[in-house]
Amino acid sequence: MTDHSYKFHPTILREYDIRGIVGETLSTADANAIGRAFGTIVVRQSGKGTSICLGYDGRTTSPDMEEALCDGLTSAGVDVIRIGRGPTPMLYFAVYHLEADGGIMVTGSHNPPAHNGFKMMMGHKSFFGEDIQRLGKMCADGDIEVADTPGQFREHDLKEAYLEELAAACAPVGELDAFRVAWDAGNGSGGEMMAELVKRLPGEHILLNEEIDGSFPNHHPDPTVAENLVQIQDVVREQNLDLGIALDGDADRIGVVDGQGRILWADQLMALLARDVLADNPGATIIADVKSSQLFFDEVARLGGKPIMWQTGHSLIKGKMAAENSPFAGEMSGHIFFADRYYGYDDALYAGVRLLGVLTRTGKSLAELFDELPIFINTPEIRIDCPDERKFDIVAEIRDRLKADGADVDDIDGVRVSVDGGWWLLRASNTQAVLVARCEAKDTAQLETLKTALREALNTSGIDASAV
């Protein structure tokens, strides 16, 4: 009897996806095993005739990973629809558009060039958390199906259908105003789609780093880090453009700068986009993660919506959206989700076009809308080293101590402590050996008070708080 057991490096099976360093913790053999196990799960759930969409990003290692993944899927009896290279949201779109039973995207997202990984869908739902752990156990136990007749694969080019969907994002606004916009793909896998999309939009569009290059030669493809937005800020200012829109490495996260080159962080952008959604969906439930500014929750409430604070993580946000029938959600990492006239997944290009629709509908510049938002002072995301085996216990210990002291604590995801209109947050990262913190206040004096309280909480639990 053939032994189908297979063990992964213990670090690659993450909370939201599977991710590692190629040649060190991740290999094409891993990709093949993932395909075999995922295919087994799908066949057992859906039966034979199951189809899975498969895509890959622009990293140099992605084509080989995709090939090995395809081999694994077909060996389990799954038919594979190979959509080729492109952004992660195009893979999500393929699953809906082609009515497939699931999908897998080979992508390292915004991580360094040597990294790669896999984002998965089972039906229209994210495949994460316990699902990924179950996949790992199936491989370790050799609990794998080998089909008598392997599945087939075919290639399907749906770029045109995806572009049509993106270009229609401005409806019901109609024709967009002719904006002057800089777009930065960061040499990520959204570059080609970005270049084609802007041809369908009115106005003047300046393309930056649209050529897909897995070495990311110009800057790291993460628009939530200020230094990665310097290039687009300079272009917007020098050419007197209306705004700039930046994508991460696989184009599911967005960064934005206004016509003055000021960065709108994701929660500020979400507050503006929520206006448009609530105009068409009065009283709707709007969701943001626990790291988001109080500005967002206050603005949604002011507009008549029902704001909900939820756990960080794109898979968790998508699940909560479905449970609450929410038309819109987002998180500080730049994942923005529209179920209003779209499918409910995170797509930076779609969010960018929706933003242009907001500007058209309001008749105001992005800078003007930005200036209308309330002002809060906050820290960036602070990362504090903490051993993996202690990080969750530390947060629980601090939570219990604060609650015993009568503090105003929200523990939906870590500890968020509210104090006189300000707050500080501490949570354990699901993907790294760190604690993640953030503080927000009405003024600089209160911000220092909150940071002191955070440091004291960490020091009492024996954690070095010098990074705060």
Pairing of strands 18-21, 51-56: unpaired
162-372 and 377-460 in the same fold: no
Predicted confidence (pLDDT) per residue in 144-187, tens digit: 989 989 999 999 999 999 999 999 887 777 788 999 999 999 99
**Domain range annotation of the chain:** 18-157, 162-372, 377-460
Give the Cα separation of 31 and 449 in Å (integer).
Answer: 49
**Domain 162-372 CATH assignment equals 3.40.120.10:** yes
Q: What does pTM read for this prediction? A: 0.94
Give the Cα separation of 95 and 90 in Å (integer).
Answer: 9
Higher pLDDT, 65 or 433: 65
Of how many residues is the chain composed? Answer: 468
Give the Cα separation of 73 and 460 in Å (integer).
Answer: 50
Give the Cα separation of 171 and 206 in Å (integer).
Answer: 23
> Edge-to-edge strands of the sheet including 285-289?
306-310, 285-289, 328-330, 336-338
CA–CA distances in Å: residue 37 to residues 17, 105, 114: 15, 15, 24
Look at residue 48 in the predicted model and tell me its pLDDT.
66
Marked catalytic residue, from 109, 292, 293, 315: 109
109 among known catalytic residues:
yes
Determine the CATH number of domain 377-460. 3.30.310.50
Confidence of residue 432 (pLDDT cuts 50, 70, 90): confident
CB of 5 closer than 8 Å to CB of 36: no
Q: What's the CATH number of domain 18-157, 3.30.70.2190, 1.10.260.40, 3.40.120.10, 3.40.50.300?
A: 3.40.120.10
Both tokens of residue 297? 């929750």
Confidence of residue 46 (pLDDT cuts 50, 70, 90): confident
Mean pLDDT check: name the lowest of 75-79, 150-154, 311-315, 431-435: 431-435
**Separation of CA 265 from chain center:** 14
Predicted confidence (pLDDT) per residue in 360-400, tens digit: 999 999 999 999 999 899 998 899 999 888 999 999 999 99
